[in-house]
Chain A
């Protein structure tokens, strides 16, 4: 979900995705960066993202990942579920 979300604002390469998750979460969510890659492969396999090789600003080749329509739909679905869960947890905590 997090990976898909970072891609909403446009194509990114793997490092970019890692960086963006790290920054946006204010360094709270720092996992082993490498574990991003198997996850990306899984998203590719599901058809939720597309990948293409492009040149970066520094003129190096990098693989950029783009959200597909199916990916967008999946993200929407997961976000809804996530929000439902958060609000449920919230209600439980408030009730206590």
Chain B
């Protein structure tokens, strides 16, 4: 009740503030008049009366202020401070622009990086209770992450108690034909309960049950919302309709909702996200006793209360049991939380970027603090006057903080605008396989983050200068009269410390950028093992239903390659089971004639298929022996081509050409394959430590229906797209030509992440060194202006100009060298964090350290040369007159 009364009275006064002040004024004037009258009647001399009354009354301004505070709301004085702050900033536009812009850039960089981190790392995955989802792999010393065997999966599914639901999937694209041109669609073969594991509901129909897993029952399909809309006009009677996939009639039994995101996969990896159009039921074909073939990936939802380690130990004991039942094996089960699986690899890079932008922000804060300190020195008189007039120090600190908060808020608002642009740019720069890229937005949490960062920033750079300023001793400052006040020792130390840390931080960022640059150069200079220029690639998938015979598949690719080869503009053409740097990972064990594998191990290598001119078209060199030829056909003796890595691994000190391997346990003479040649190595990824051992079967001897065509053009490879389309169309008009890409693009994508990391860190480092140089310049030029009298005297006493320059530069050099030393120490401490992000460069690379050190010192001293020159122009007369 009372507080309500007070509130309304305050409100009333708020709206009649002028009247309040008028009345207070009148009241106080009345008081003084009365007091003066009294004093006069007491016999005080008339000329002294006025002052005596005033003294007796006290500090009028302060009383006015206090009366106003009593009846004012808390925010009113804040508004007052704010108004004052705005006036200050407007009256000093160049100061304001510099400080707000630097803060905006660094806050903007922070917000942009935070947007990415929020979207990728912090926001939970779009599945219910996503932390209970785990990916299930097998693991062995040779293959740390390996897919499951379908029948092993089935046993694990029926026996385990750790998972509420457990499913498996494998990438399997399909060709949709029927109306219009045939189209290849991204597809997954999934077991029953796959969507249930993810916690996703279909918008129409139902998902597969275990009945669909039985061979022969699999002609059912669940389609994406996108496909439903684009191909079937969102037909509400789609359920039960038959569509032609891989030349077979599939019945649509379900439609997924829009925005459904698949959890990512390992085999022929498609990055996490939207993009899958078709889910078909995985069917358990083959002999359940044969557990050698591994190609499906597991995903499970842990039962509530079951920990990851409990699940791992149960799955491991089940796997041991299963292997005992089926003739041994030493596979361990590897469970990876889904979130870790999707974003784990990008976490390190994002954290490094966050560290970089925080350093930039710290530098910007140090700079802003320095600017404020310099300005506080010029405002010392003003502050002294206000203190002398009775302003409490706390109020002064608050007011100076209001100013710095206003600055940082302006910086924050502008920074948010920068962030909006920056995030768009970032997302467009992200490599195609970057997880959750479409989850990156400038959203409410980003606004909150920016707001908080602005507050912290404002206090961080404002507090020290404000406290400094409030310590001003009014008597001293005012006594010094016309002379400009010199910075106190404490203030100078603070400013020097700020500059040293700025230089140190900038040094670290430059080291980071330098290391990433070296690593990028290493990657680009790397011999990829093929020649990417002028190469067009497409992928083809022959429907099993139509190409039942092995010979039909072999014949198709033989004819295709022959007809494209003679087309104008084509230099060479080949087909292969895969392309370099696309994440292909198919392995097999084998026996080498006359060799025994070490105990508990087997000889293994990656297997591929290729037509004779595949390597010629790719530009991969032949090291020894011969390439595959058209005569390596069905009726000829079996041959393989191996890579250098396989030759080195299995025939280290001998000639591999002519040696024989086999895949049969009891080989007859015809089951032996002879190594006819060795080709150069191509690594899995440009930054892989080394190439995997691999061999190639001739496509004619081991036909593979899914192949990539590699066409080396005489000039523009894109002009050959139609040539390829026509050639395919003439052989089979129902076949889709998919994944039309240049080898250049594939190569480019593979360095996208290191390039982006370098670009961003380089950008931040550039910003950092500019800020640090501005900061050093500011401190030196301030000190020069402070010491102009001294320099003037020195010159008057005969000092040479270069002496003065040397004097100033040596002061600057002290700061810069101290900063660089600090930077070196910190960079050596932090260097290890970069190890995973750089390629073939040590985080302590002496060349980078030396270069960056020289650049930092040189640039900073160059900036200080300007104030040094100004110092030489100090006129002794002006200096002396100013005393």
Q: Are A32 and B2 in contact (CB under 8 A)?
A: no
State in angstroms the CA–CA spacing of A41 and B31 once bound together. 15
Q: Mark A51-63, 1 if CB is under 8 A from B, else 0.
A: 0010000001111
CB distance from A18 to the nearest CB of B (A): 7
Given A37-B67, A38-B66, answer yes or no on A45-B59 (Cβ-Cβ < 8 Å): no
State in angstroms the CA–CA spacing of A15 and B38 once bound together. 11
Q: Are A34 and B30 in contact (CB under 8 A)?
A: no
Q: Are A46 and B30 in contact (CB under 8 A)?
A: no
In the bound complex, residues from chain A placing their C-beta under 8 Å from that of B69 are 38
The closest CB in chain A to the CB of B38 belongs to A19
In the bound complex, residues from chain B placing their C-beta under 8 Å from that of A47 are 2, 5-6, 9
Q: Are A15 and B31 in contact (CB under 8 A)?
A: yes
- Decide if B285 is an interface residue (CB 8 Å cutoff): no
Which of B5, B10, B57 sits near A34, CB closer than 8 Å? Answer: B57
- Decide if A14 is an interface residue (CB 8 Å cutoff): yes
State in angstroms the CA–CA spacing of A13 and B70 once bound together. 19
Q: Are B57 and A45 in contact (CB under 8 A)?
A: no
Q: Mark A8-36, 1 if CB is under 8 A from B, else 0.
A: 00000111001100000000001011110
Which of A18, A38, A62 sits near B70, CB closer than 8 Å? Answer: A38
Q: Are A33 and B57 in contact (CB under 8 A)?
A: yes
Interface of B is mostly: helix
B638-668 interface (Cβ within 8 A of A): none
Q: Are A42 and B70 in contact (CB under 8 A)?
A: yes
Q: Mark B21-56, 1 if CB is under 8 A from A, else 0.
A: 001101110110111001000000000000000001
In the bound complex, residues from chain A placing their C-beta under 8 Å from that of B2 are 46-47
- Decide if B410 is an interface residue (CB 8 Å cutoff): no
Given A61-B26, A62-B30, answer yes or no on A35-B58 (Cβ-Cβ < 8 Å): yes
The closest CB in chain B to the CB of A43 belongs to B70
- The number of residue pairs between A and B whose CB atoms lie closer than 8 Å in the complex comes to 71
In the bound complex, residues from chain A placing their C-beta under 8 Å from that of B34 are 15
CB distance from A53 to the nearest CB of B (A): 8
Q: Are A63 and B58 in contact (CB under 8 A)?
A: no
CB distance from A34 to the nearest CB of B (A): 4
In the bound complex, residues from chain A placing their C-beta under 8 Å from that of B27 are 13-14, 37, 62-63
In the bound complex, residues from chain A placing their C-beta under 8 Å from that of B56 are 30, 32-33
State in angstroms the CA–CA spacing of A18 and B56 once bound together. 11
Interface of A is mostly: helix
Q: Are A38 and B6 in contact (CB under 8 A)?
A: no
In the bound complex, residues from chain A placing their C-beta under 8 Å from that of B10 are 45
- Decide if B60 is an interface residue (CB 8 Å cutoff): yes
B505-557 interface (Cβ within 8 A of A): none
Count, chain B residues at interface, CB 8 A: 28
Given A38-B69, A41-B71, A45-B10, answer yes or no on A33-B31 (Cβ-Cβ < 8 Å): yes
State in angstroms the CA–CA spacing of A18 and B35 once bound together. 10
Which of A14, A37, A44, A62 sits near B9, CB closer than 8 Å? Answer: A44
State in angstroms the CA–CA spacing of A61 and B31 once bound together. 11
Q: Mark B338-360, 1 if CB is under 8 A from A, else 0.
A: 00000000000000000000000
In the bound complex, residues from chain B placing their C-beta under 8 Å from that of A38 are 63, 66-67, 69-70
Q: Are A34 and B70 in contact (CB under 8 A)?
A: no
B559-599 interface (Cβ within 8 A of A): none
State in angstroms the CA–CA spacing of A63 and B19 once bound together. 13
State in angstroms the CA–CA spacing of A53 and B70 once bound together. 21
Q: Are B6 and A46 in contact (CB under 8 A)?
A: yes
The closest CB in chain A to the CB of B72 belongs to A41
Which of B24, B30, B58 sits near A15, CB closer than 8 Å? Answer: B30
The closest CB in chain B to the CB of A53 belongs to B23
Q: Are B26 and A34 in contact (CB under 8 A)?
A: no
The closest CB in chain A to the CB of B54 belongs to A34
In the bound complex, residues from chain B placing their C-beta under 8 Å from that of A37 are 24, 27-28, 63, 67
Q: Are A15 and B35 in contact (CB under 8 A)?
A: yes
The closest CB in chain A to the CB of B63 belongs to A34
Q: Are B26 and A32 in contact (CB under 8 A)?
A: no
Q: Are B9 and A45 in contact (CB under 8 A)?
A: yes
In the bound complex, residues from chain A placing their C-beta under 8 Å from that of B28 are 14, 34, 37
**19 additional contacts, CB 8 Å, given A14-B28, A63-B30?**
A13-B30, A15-B31, A15-B34, A15-B35, A19-B38, A32-B57, A32-B59, A33-B56, A33-B57, A34-B59, A35-B58, A37-B67, A38-B70, A42-B70, A44-B9, A45-B10, A45-B70, A53-B23, A62-B30
Q: Which 5 A-B pairs have the closest CB atoms?
A: A32-B58, A34-B58, A38-B66, A34-B63, A41-B70
Interchain residue pairs with CB less than 8 A apart (11)? A14-B27, A14-B28, A14-B30, A33-B31, A34-B59, A37-B24, A38-B63, A38-B67, A47-B5, A47-B6, A62-B27
